[in-house]
Amino acid sequence: MSAKARRTINSFVFHRIPEYFSEEILNTAGVVSIDRLPVPPLTALGLTEFAGFESQQIAAVTYMNTYFVQPDHIYDESLHFHELVHVVQWKTIGPESFLMLYAQGLAKYGYRESPLEQMAYRYQVIFDEGIQCYRVEGAVAEETLGLARTFI
């Protein structure tokens, strides 16, 4: 597994992301470029219903305030935006609640339709289309708390 050092988002020269996230997130969220993404061995733990999640081809995965990106996607600003939404989700409800909510969403709806992923993709569309420039953290936090109250 080849990995480079953890970098903050501000170390990249992204011009649009700072319009959507605070300096705090941009200075504390980290990115690691890595050939093989660290995905938990859920089936080895007896959670066979997550086999599809383990084997799918994804470009990045977020754990708390750090996300891991395959090298060929390291300069994809849209992907970074998506993962930063997950950083805010983790920060808002904490690791235990995030993992519980994420697992429940995967089990019930699958990856793409799970609530936390749907949220990240929905905000990513806003970013990609340049519909509106605003700090998304408050909206993401509020929506994440609402989901946590509903599911957990």
Residue ranges of domains in the chain = 7-151
pLDDT of residue 2: 45
pTM: 0.88
Round to whole Å and give the CA distance between 110 and 68: 21
**For residue 119, is pLDDT > 90?**
yes
pLDDT tens digits for 122-149?
A: 999 999 998 777 889 999 999 999 999 9
Quickly state the pLDDT bin for 99 (edges 50, 70, 90). Answer: confident
Task: Please give the pLDDT value at position 38.
Answer: 72
- Look up tokens 């909510």; give the residue: 101
pLDDT of residue 1: 41
Q: Are 90 and 65 in contact (CB under 8 A)?
A: yes
Closest CA to 62 of 107, 18, 92, 20: 92
